[in-house]
Amino acid sequence: MSIIGESFLSSEQLTEKDIAQIFSRAELFKKEFQSRKRIDHLVRGDGLQQKVVALVFSEPSTRTRMSFQVAASRLGFRTLSLDNPQVSSLSKGETLEDTFRNVAAMMPDLMVVRYNTNPDADAVIRELPCPVINGGTGAAEHPTQALLDAFTICEFRGQVKGERVLIVGDVKHSRVANSNLMLLQRMGAEIAYCSPAELGPQSDSWKGVRSFDQLNEAVEWATVVMGLRVQKERHRSEDTGVGQSLAEYRERYRVGGDQLKNFRNDGILLHPGPVIRGVEFSAFVLNDPRCKVLDQVTNGVFVRAALMSIMLGLEVQKQ
Ligand code: ASP
């Protein structure tokens, strides 16, 4: 399925051709920006300065929201952002679904949404009259994060195919882990996870995925280590075992200097952010040259710029 003119809601939608097109455009944008500090001159299409991207975020975000805004600005588009329910009609009792319908009625060219997934909102999103990008839906999916993660793996490891990607931490509540599982497996990576029993994956899509009990052994196996934040805001009473004992969590699941001794020299460490220092990664790990967390953030801008320009049917001119 092509993503031109359509909504992009799940990693599952991406064909190999889509992935190749997004990555080659993101690479071109990144190179051009590094040498000329602009990318807007590469994009061809009518009324570029008139394009409007609406961001409707009802859950917190730093990187995703701002990198969509930076990407849109670099392309010459304008953005509208609704990210604080207190200053919107949500605080007056309007439902999130009606908020989506109303913002879409302003006819933006694209809408980026983040919300806690539920069947009503999901159904409304699928019927909006403008293309929508999923900027993170509850614990379900975060497909643009998976794209930028895969792009970063390609940048530093050369390819995704054959990579051994270890996901560490709260897989159960992680939309990032779900979207990465779909995308990275499709691209030929082997996935494994290392999680406390209470926070291990629940859905069928994780059946048969390798799991490690010991973090040291897992890190030794991996070529890519992806840390995940403990998603306390999504925990229910049955998950509190780990939430209550952060000290215990750190002891067993924090990637620190000891684990790095077993990690290959050409391996990389990723994390979608926000990193809670000392919980998922130690300060030592964040300073290690194999840690590519800020490269992921930079790549997020160019991957999202590539995605938006392709969805809007814009051509690029190679210089
Ligand atoms: N920023 C990522 C997300 O929105 C990861 C996280 O919040 O832990 O899913």
Ligand 1: centre distance to CA 272 (Å): 6
pLDDT the model gives residue 137: 97
- In this structure, which amino acid lies at residue 152? T
The position carrying tokens 């989506």 is 100
Ligand 1: centre distance to CA 173 (Å): 10
Confidence of residue 121 (pLDDT cuts 50, 70, 90): very high
Confidence of residue 108 (pLDDT cuts 50, 70, 90): very high
To the nearest 10°, the Cα dihedral for 176, 179, 183, 186? Answer: 130
Please list, residue by residue across 206-226, b when 16 or more beta carbons sit within 10 angstroms of its beta carbon and e when fewer do: beebeebeebeebbbbbbbbb
With beta carbons less than 8 A apart as the criterion, state whether 308 and 39 touch: no
Strands (E), the chain: 43-44, 52-57, 78-82, 110-115, 132-137, 164-168, 190-194, 210-211, 224-227, 268-270, 315-316
Q: Which of 62, 149, 174, 275 to mutate to test the pocket of ligand 1 (most atoms within 8 A of CB)?
A: 174
Confidence of residue 85 (pLDDT cuts 50, 70, 90): confident
Ligand 1: centre distance to CA 61 (Å): 8
- At the topology level, CATH places domain 145-297 in Rossmann fold (3.40.50)
With beta carbons less than 8 A apart as the criterion, state whether 195 and 211 touch: yes
Q: Which of 145, 148, 173 to mutate to test the pocket of ligand 1 (most atoms within 8 A of CB)?
A: 145
pLDDT the model gives residue 244: 55
Ligand 1: centre distance to CA 177 (Å): 10
Q: What is the mean pLDDT of residues 90-110?
A: 95
CA pair distance 297, 180, nearest whole angstrom: 16
Ligand 1: centre distance to CA 72 (Å): 21
Ligand 1: centre distance to CA 175 (Å): 8
Q: What is the mean pLDDT of residues 76-82?
A: 96
Confidence of residue 248 (pLDDT cuts 50, 70, 90): confident
Ligand 1: centre distance to CA 176 (Å): 7
Q: How far is CA 174 from CA 104, 140, 163, 238, in A?
A: 28, 7, 21, 16
Where, residue-wise, is CATH 3.40.50.1370 in the chain? 11-142+300-316, 145-297
For ligand 1, what atom is nearest to the CA of residue 174? 9
For ligand 1, what atom is nearest to the CA of residue 175? 9
**Is pLDDT of 2 > 60?**
yes
pLDDT winner (highest mean) among 20-29, 37-46, 81-90: 20-29
Q: 95: Cβ–Cβ under 8 A, 6 or more apart, which residues?
A: none
For ligand 1, what atom is nearest to the CA of residue 114? 4
> Residue 246: enclosing H or E segment and its boundaries?
helix 246-253
CA pair distance 296, 14, nearest whole angstrom: 20
With beta carbons less than 8 A apart as the criterion, state whether 192 and 210 touch: yes
CA pair distance 248, 197, nearest whole angstrom: 13
Say how many C-beta atoms besides its own lie within 10 A of residue 110's C-beta.
23
For ligand 1, what atom is nearest to the CA of residue 60? 4
Q: Which of 229, 270, 277 to mutate to test the pocket of ligand 1 (most atoms within 8 A of CB)?
A: 229
Q: What is the mean pLDDT of residues 199-219?
A: 96
Name the residue with the closest Cα to ligand 1, atom 4: 136
**Is pLDDT of 17 > 60?**
yes
Q: Which of 57, 176, 231, 279 to mutate to test the pocket of ligand 1 (most atoms within 8 A of CB)?
A: 176
- At residue 182, what are phi and psi to the nearest 5 degrees? -60, -50
Lining ligand 1 with CB less than 6 A are: 136, 142, 175-176, 229, 231, 272-273
3-state secondary structure at position 114: strand
Confidence of residue 314 (pLDDT cuts 50, 70, 90): very high
Ligand 1: centre distance to CA 48 (Å): 31
pLDDT the model gives residue 180: 98
Ligand 1: centre distance to CA 60 (Å): 9
pLDDT the model gives residue 243: 52
Q: What is the mean pLDDT of residues 113-139?
A: 96
pTM greater than 0.75: yes
3-state secondary structure at position 77: coil
Q: What is the mean pLDDT of residues 172-196?
A: 97
Q: What is the mean pLDDT of residues 15-43?
A: 97
User: Bridge-partner residues for 165, per DSSP?
Assistant: 191, 224
- At the topology level, CATH places domain 11-142+300-316 in Rossmann fold (3.40.50)
